[in-house]
Amino acid sequence: MNNPLKRSLWTILALGLLLALFWALRPAPMQVRISPVQQGYFAETIEDEGRTRLRETYSISAPIDGYLHRVVLEPGDSVQAGQVLFSLEPAPAPALDARSLEQAREQVSAAQARLLAAKAGLDSSLQERRYAEQEYQRHQGLQQQGVISATQLDRLRHDWQRAQAAERVATAAVEVARYEVENARAVLAITDGSRSGEERLLKVLAPVNGLVLQRQRCCEGVIMAGAPVLTLGDLNQLEVQVDLLSADAVRVRPGMPVELERWGGDSSLQGLVRRIEPAGFTRVSALGVDEQRVPVLVSIESGPELWQQLGEGYRVEARFLLWQQHDAISIPSSALFREQYQGESRWAVFVVANGKARLRWVTPGRRSGLSTQIEAGLTAGEKVITHPPASLHDGDAVRW
């Protein structure tokens, strides 16, 4: 083989080795995840857990100290206004021990003796009044004849009036003594304790139409005035309370639409913000962080036939619609990152073009969950890299 041909073969062989070495040592394309740029409906929302509650409830309690009869109504039972909810009677009289019984008997005897003394006093006052009256009438004729003076007649009339007043006092004393005898006999009549009976029942009526929500007392027994027995409510007044973070609550307005989900039904329910309470409270999160929460009340606008199984205190998830657009450009929020540009920190994304990552400056808008609206910098259909690694640079080859 001549030298020119041999040199050509060696040259080709060297070029092949160099090409193989370059191919083996070149950087491999970086593995990334991509997501297409979406164009369509986009809504900025706030999501949080809530619970159902009744706008008005009625706690029915015992109006007096007494003996409660068994409450037959159970939670879930319907009641009508004016219906008897439960009955109670005055507390049973306490039983008397041997000492108290003997004292009661002695009090009856003492009261009877005072009654006899009062009657005797009344008889004496009656005789005094009659005598004074006769004296006055007899001397009245003598004064007309001029036998006695007018002063003597006035003194006799005064004695008669005093006798009349003493008779009235004695009559009242007899009545008081008679009442004392009756009271002492009433104490002695019930020596072993007894209930008042059916004739003295106090019946508590339902104030409104509704359902029994809770039953605090079911069995009969002594009950104190003010002790709760039943709680009533009307499920047609059901609403939802959502305790939002204070930073989210300031963005909510009355009348704002709310979507209620994961309440147990097949479809979501529609609601409206009815009230944002002005006072917040502190609640400790599951991570042990103090959070400032604000109660937001949501009225259920969907028909009651769609949520008949809902009751008070049920869990729901509420989505508050803050803003919406039907042709918005949006990407996953994980594709955004901050990058320095001419000494200023700006938002950017990596767009995949011809197998390479290209840095693109963007203007993000509103955020909702895991998505972000893009106001400028992207068009629908482009592919952006989600969760871009810190080692990725503009122009790097990528694969997915």
CATH superfamily of 98-189: Helix Hairpins (1.10.287.620)
For domain 29-56+238-400, is the CATH number 2.40.30.170?
A: yes
The gap from C-alpha 150 to its chain's centroid, in whole angstroms, comes to 85
Q: The pTM is what? A: 0.62
Name the average pLDDT for the chain: 86
Least confident range of 55-64, 100-109, 315-324: 100-109
Task: Provide the 3-class DSSP secondary structure of residue 319.
Answer: strand
User: How many H helices and E strands in the chain?
Assistant: 4, 24
Place of tokens 């809530």: 50
Q: What is the mean pLDDT of residues 93-98?
A: 68
Options 2.40.128.50, 3.90.950.10, 3.90.550.10, 2.40.50.100; which CATH number does 57-92+196-233 get? Answer: 2.40.50.100
- Angle made by CA atoms 315, 321, 324, in degrees to the nearest 5: 150
How many residues would you count in the chain?
400
pLDDT, one tens digit per residue, over 222-267 is 899 999 999 999 988 899 999 999 999 999 999 999 999 999 888 8
Q: Fold identical between 29-56+238-400 and 98-189? A: no
Type of residue found at 137:
Q
* CA nearest neighbour of 171 among 210, 118, 93: 118
- Among residues 341, 385, 320, the alpha carbon closest in space to that of 48 is found at 320
Domains of the chain by residue range: 29-56+238-400, 57-92+196-233, 98-189
pLDDT per residue over 121-159, tens digit each? 888 888 888 888 887 777 777 777 766 777 777 787 888
Question: Which has the closest alpha carbon to 260: 231, 239, 286?
Answer: 239
46 CB-contact burial (10 Å; exposed 0-12 / middle 13-18 / buried 19+)? buried
Q: Which pair of structure tokens corresponds to residue 93?
A: 């009289």
Radius of gyration of the chain (CA): 49
Q: What is the pLDDT of residues 341-354, one digit of tens each?
A: 888 889 999 999 98
Mean pLDDT along residues 186-208: 71
